Structure 1
Amino acid sequence: MTFCNGPVAWSSRVQKTIALSTVEAEYMALTEGVKEVKWIRQILMDLGRNQVTPTPLFSDNQCAAFLTKNPQHHRRTKHIDIRYHFIRTEQEQGVVSVEYTPSDKQPADMPTKALSGPRHLKCRRLPGDSSSWGIDYSGLN
């Protein structure tokens, strides 16, 4: 999660629940992201910086992004634990807005996937990466 182009919260861990599909895994991860968003928004509110617009959450899985907006149960998704549908309520209340973002524009992939050299450099140039903060790390080993 970034704020003013700098990272303020991040996480990469194994999910405790076994997902039966990529869509389900992404949906579960989005729900975890919403919990983090709510915490950060509360901190901002405590500091007098209320956020009135929905916080965008980006997913590189179109089906998972669609599932957050679709309240119907389908054969392939009806088994998903009800607690993960928390994201739908938060989206309806304007806390978050889930948006599809292609994988090549997803900086969150850097700590979770093995990236080729060119793809790694491209992710480093995306907003939120330390190289975009104007800090020179060239002298560090």
Structure 2
Amino acid sequence: AIDLAKHPVSHGRSKHIERRFHFLRDQVNRDKLELEYCKSEIQLADILTKPLKKARVDELKKLMGMKCLENLY
């Protein structure tokens, strides 16, 4: 995604994201948005977008500062 935003190239595989890509590229060009690489080990969005093993879910919850309400009392 970062590479596409910095170096726009038309690929058959990326046609479905064309609108979002152009919006993001425009925001980057206007200095309203900065894209930054994020290692997959700390990609917090995975908890919302992928089926994960319990250990990985627990790790991501810890990184986000989430706690189980049952453990607070």
> Shift of the alpha carbon at 1:78?
8.5
The correspondence of residues 95-106 of structure 1 with structure 2, limited to 5 A, is 95-106=32-43
Candidates 58, 61, 66, aligned match of 1:130: 66
What TM-score, normalized by structure 2, do the two folds share?
0.70
1:94 matched residue in structure 2? 31
Candidates 9, 19, 27, aligned match of 1:83: 19
Size of the aligned set, in residue pairs, is 70
Query: 1-side partners of 2:32 and 2:58: how far apart?
Result: 32
Query: 1-side partners of 2:14 and 2:43: how far apart?
Result: 28
More strand by share: 1
> Shift of the alpha carbon at 1:102?
1.7
Query: 2-side partners of 1:111 and 1:139: how far apart?
Result: 22
Pair 137,77 (structure 1): closer, same or farther in 2 beyond 3 Å: same
Amino acid at match of 2:38: T
SS of the equivalent of 2:70 reads coil
RMSD, aligned CA: 2.6
> Shift of the alpha carbon at 1:93?
1.0
Question: Which ranges of 4 or more aligned residues in structure 1 deviate by more than 3 Å?
Answer: none
More helix by share: 2
Extract unaligned runs of 5+ from structure 2: none
The correspondence of residues 36-47 of structure 1 with structure 2, limited to 5 A, is none
